[in-house]
Amino acid sequence: MNGKGKIWMDGKFVEWNNAKIHILTHAMHYGTAVFEGIRCYDTKNGPAIFRLEDHVRRLANSCKMYHMTLQFSEKDLADAIVETIRINNVKHCYIRPICYYGYGKMGVNPLPNKVSASIALWDWEDHIKTEENKGMRVIVSSWARIDSRSLPMHAKATANYANSALARIEAISSGVDEAIMLNISGMVVEGTAENIFIVRDNTLITPPLTSGALDGITRSTVLSIAEHMGINFQICDISRDELYYADEVFLTGTAAEIKSIGEIDKIVIANGEVGKIATQLKSIYHQIVHGDIEKFDKWLTYVN
């Protein structure tokens, strides 16, 4: 992996270095691809994929919103993901399925082009690194999050990530780790590739999907953990200023898992550290993905 191993492309395994497509691939020019980010964790029963069905369903929904007719069913894709892990013989990995309009006819209309799919795996341990027990430093981006008047934001489409990439560049060039994005109404939406939660008076608060936030699978997992632990939660709009005086703020995502924020626009949150509730959630999340809590075993697809 990470430069070696096999990548699944339209039903065939190809060597990492041969996993190539034509420069005139439609998706490359017009942003017409949809993808997923999934994780496989090592458990006592071998590698297990976390919430595979939910990810494949979201991918299929993303395809639908982009008028893609896939030659593979959801089951075919789920099986192919399992097979890609088996063939690469890894214990844990990040999984990147992508469906895209391919090479054929240039022009904005993607429909004349074949829809292809591929699945690659790699180690992704270094999402955003912070010192042990320290929170990330972030800014609120000056780039507004695009919303569903422009693009279907519940589709996990590459096009959305041009907006994310500009915000991430803004954060990095400002000397911090990540950016929080506001929608056109000025309400908090999410990070560049993560959902967001604040904690106030021991209650978790996360913006509704109508804010434009992705229907994150880690977000839904955190809400289930809150229910399991008896932590109150609310789904409601969060204004920018509410971020600054929250007791804790953290981001969630498949790649990020649960990542605390220690500073926003130079205002310190939770003493700059990982907060008490985030610590509890992280611990349960870790146990769930590693198959240590039976109640949540339904979310694991064992590879072997």
Ligand X SMILES: Cc1ncc(COP(=O)(O)O)c(C=O)c1O
So which residues are the catalytic ones? 156
CB of 158 to ligand X, least distance (A): 11
Query: Rule CB under 6 A: is residue 179 a binding residue for ligand X?
Result: no
Q: Which residues of 84-105 are buried (b: 16+ CB within 10 A; e: fewer)?
A: bbeebebebbbbbbbbbbbbee
Structural contact between residues 138 and 174, judged by C-beta atoms closer than 8 angstroms: no
The distance of closest approach from Cβ of residue 215 to ligand X in the complex, given in angstroms and rounded to an integer, is 7
**Beta strand pairing call for 12-15 and 6-9:** antiparallel
Angle at 14 between CA 11 and CA 20, to 5 degrees: 100
Q: Report d(CA 200, CA 185) in Å as an integer.
A: 22
137 vs 156 by CB, closer to ligand X:
156
- Say which DSSP state 134 is in: B
Main-chain phi, psi angles of 82, to 5 degrees: -60, -45
Measured distance CA(237)–CA(156) in Å, rounded? 22
Question: Of residues 27, 120, 214, 226, which one binds ligand X by CB under 6 A?
Answer: 214
Comparing CA positions, the residue from 30, 256, 269 lying closest to residue 124 is 256
Shorter beta-carbon distance to ligand X: residue 113 or 140: 140
Given candidates 62, 84, 118, 254, which one binds ligand X under the rule CB under 6 A?
A: 254
Task: Give the number of C-alpha atoms closer than 13 A to the C-alpha of residue 125, restricted to the C-beta side.
Answer: 5
Query: Could you tell me which stretch among 22-30, 65-73, 193-201, 229-237 binds ligand X (CB under 6 A)?
Result: 193-201
Nearer to ligand X, 179 or 277 (CB): 179
With CB under 6 A as the contact rule, the residue among 217, 269, 288, 289 that binds ligand X is 217
Cβ 92 vs Cβ 47: under 8 Å: yes
Three-class SS of residue 163?
helix
Taking the C-alpha atoms of residue 77 and residue 122, their distance in angstroms, rounded to an integer, is 18
Sites for ligand X among residues 138-157 (CB under 6 A): none
Contact status: 178 vs ligand X (CB under 6 A): no
Q: Does 257 bind ligand X (CB under 6 A)?
A: no
SS3 229: helix
Helical packing angle, 217-229 and 52-65, nearest 10°? 140
If binding is defined by CB under 6 A, does position 248 make contact with ligand X? no
Choice between 14 and 169, CB closer to ligand X: 169
Give the interface segment with ligand X, choosing from 11-19, 23-31, 212-220, 225-233 (CB under 6 A): 212-220
Q: Does residue number 253 form part of the binding site for ligand X (CB under 6 A)? A: yes
Among 120, 193, 204, 264, binds ligand X (CB under 6 A): 193
Nearer to ligand X, 253 or 291 (CB): 253
Q: Which stretch binds ligand X (CB under 6 A): 128-136, 192-200, 234-242, 274-282?
A: 192-200
The reply to whether 62 sits near ligand X by the rule CB under 6 A is: no
Say if residues 40 and 48 touch (Cβ distance below 8 Å). Answer: yes
Per rule CB under 6 A, count of chain residues that contact ligand X: 13
Q: Which of residues 15-44 bind ligand X (CB under 6 A)?
A: 37
Positions that interact with ligand X (CB under 6 A): 37, 190, 193-195, 214, 216-219, 252-254
